[in-house]
Amino acid sequence: MEWLDYAGTEEQQMMRDVARELARERLAPAAEEYDRSEEFPWTIVKEIAAADLFRVFIDEEFDGMAGGMSIHNMALVTEELSWGCGGIALSFAATALGTLPIIISGNDGQKKKYLPRIAGGTIAAFALTEANAGSDAAGIRTTAKKDGDGYIINGTKQWISNGGEAEIYTVFAMTDPSKGARGASCFILEKGMEGFGFGKKEDKLGIRGSTTRELVFQDVRVSEENRLGREGTGFMTAMKTFDMSRPGVAAQACGIAKRAVDEAVSYAITREQFGKPVAANQGLQFLMADMAMKTEAARALVFATAKYIDTHEKRSTKFSAMSKCFASDVAMQVTVDAVQVLGGYGYMKEYPVEKLMRDAKITQIYEGTNQIQRDEIGRALVKEASREAR
Ligand SMILES: Cc1cc2nc3c(=O)[nH]c(=O)nc-3n(C[C@H](O)[C@H](O)[C@H](O)COP(=O)(O)OP(=O)(O)OC[C@H]3O[C@@H](n4cnc5c(N)ncnc54)[C@H](O)[C@@H]3O)c2cc1C
């Protein structure tokens, strides 16, 4: 199927082609197996790293891509990989998510220490959520207590993508619980630190090619050099991270939706009922037309937002929330419709569309549910209108 092309430069076209080839040759054929086993796809993750794709969201001076860190590039690669498998692609996207706090709030020393490793394929993770703090992220209870020239971290993080597999973790903890959101700070932790362990690995509905795991901190000692930014700025780092990472979730949703359209139309031209392909029925053509239109509309919003982030100093909260919310709702609808196009076969595991439907669901939930995205958009609209009215 031909889709609108958002790879503008020659470098972007090359990067897109590399990611596309990996998606078709490696991710798509392996997707069913990882969906069944729920193992971490190390072999493929190493190939993604060997293809230099982890460099696309890191600045050139830290061994990243020529031309610098780019959300547009990150979205292009995430979309392509997600066409192959939304779960395996998450190992890439969750690494970008875990790296963004270092890019946003890290000092030069922290960037020099960690970014080149990630650019070379060391995977990262972002640890905010806890059992009692999901949408209300300011309610986290993990603490980082000042101790001499460092901190002692205690607590448990829940549902962390790449948990247990990543080497580098950006972890949010309260340095002053009495201050609420203003009392949170962000720290860089490494696998293997004393007292840093891993708990329950989740058994999930979709994106089963990615690992979702609990992180346990028992008196983990870190130095001040592990703190990103000033004390109390952790929540701001998390929010700025989401501004930049949500188009990544949106791109994952677009990759899944594109695959659903491709699979549905390919099936519909070969499946015959009443002596003709089912695709010859206008009723089904209209459904497929809506699926493709919604997917292209979502892609336009996602890549326009990515471009906005790359070219503006201003925060992109409203547009990032719009792209994440719209693209994930489209992915959910389009994958449900793809199952419908395949009829009973769509419901069976021998065809890939039921997995697409399961994979799409998470994009409406993580990095802020779509209720929270609508909340963000609504608040931004009111704030803008009030400012203009003054
Ligand atoms: C597979 C998976 C991977 C994840 N990966 C990570 C990760 O790598 N790092 C990380 O930190 N977290 C991760 N998460 C956590 C994820 O970001 C949270 O699940 C999400 O933010 C929602 O929190 P919750 O599940 O606790 O839902 P809750 O906050 O308990 O919400 C329950 C329901 O109430 C609604 N709701 C809550 N507040 C409001 C409101 N103010 N207005 C309207 N509706 C509201 C929600 O939309 C939802 O429908 C992951 C989750 C999953 C399932």
Residue ranges and CATH numbers for the domains of the chain are 10-122 (1.10.540.10), 125-230 (2.40.110.10), 235-384 (1.20.140.10)
Ligand 1: nearest atom to the Cα of 161: 8
Q: What is the pLDDT of residue 336?
A: 98
Q: Can you tell me the mean pLDDT for 339-343? A: 98
Q: How confident is the model at residue 58 (pLDDT cuts 50, 70, 90)?
A: very high
CB atoms under 10 Å from CB of 228, counted, come to 22
Residue 94 in contact with ligand 1 by CB distance below 6 A = yes
Looking at every residue in the chain, the average pLDDT score rounds to 97
Using the predicted structure, report yes or no on whether residue 57 has a pLDDT greater than 90. Answer: yes
| CA–CA separation, 261 and 258 (whole Å) | 5
Percent of the chain past pLDDT 90, that is, above it, reads: 98
Q: What is the pLDDT of residue 67?
A: 81
Q: Can you tell me the mean pLDDT for 96-105? A: 98
Atom 40 in ligand 1: residue holding the nearest Cα: 372
Among 20, 75, 61, residue whose Cα is nearest residue 247: 75
Residue 273 in contact with ligand 1 by CB distance below 6 A = no
Residue 128 in contact with ligand 1 by CB distance below 6 A = yes
Using the predicted structure, report yes or no on whether residue 68 has a pLDDT greater than 90. Answer: no
Residue of 79, 354, 367, 376 marked active site: 367
**What are 127's strand-pairing partners?**
171
| CA–CA separation, 368 and 134 (whole Å) | 8
Q: What is the pLDDT of residue 78?
A: 98
Atom 27 in ligand 1: residue holding the nearest Cα: 134
Distance 242 CA to ligand 1 centre (A): 13
Ligand 1: nearest atom to the Cα of 98: 8
Query: Which of 179-193 are b and which e, b meaning 16 or more Cβ less than 10 Å from the residue's Cβ?
Result: eebebbbbbbbebee
Q: How confident is the model at residue 205 (pLDDT cuts 50, 70, 90)?
A: very high
Active-site residue flag, 231: no
Ligand 1: nearest atom to the Cα of 207: 1
Residue 366 in contact with ligand 1 by CB distance below 6 A = yes
CB atoms under 10 Å from CB of 96, counted, come to 26
pTM greater than 0.95 (yes/no): yes
Distance 147 CA to ligand 1 centre (A): 32
